[in-house]
Amino acid sequence: MLENKSDLILNKVYEFRVLRKMSQSDLAKVVGVSKQTIFVMEKNNYSPSLLLAYKIADFFGVSIEEVFIYQKGGI
């Protein structure tokens, strides 16, 4: 199946991070990426790898679907 250009992966990384009272730098260190990666991910300008998505969800103690939401675009 071809990926539709309007398909998106939205996320709630910002919400989970703020609830934990963490900075972007703190979360970045925990999951092994740069602060910039967290910044662009929170702005929905970057879709993480599957491994990174699982690391983030695992850190917050929730399922991957609670943090990352697939939004299918128009056909």
* Tens-digit pLDDT profile for residues 11-68: 999 999 999 999 999 999 999 999 999 999 999 999 999 999 999 999 999 999 999 9
pTM of the model: 0.86
Residue whose pair of structure tokens reads 């879709």 in the numeric block: 47
Q: How confident is the model at residue 3 (pLDDT cuts 50, 70, 90)?
A: low
Return the pLDDT at 52: 98
Return the pLDDT at 4: 61
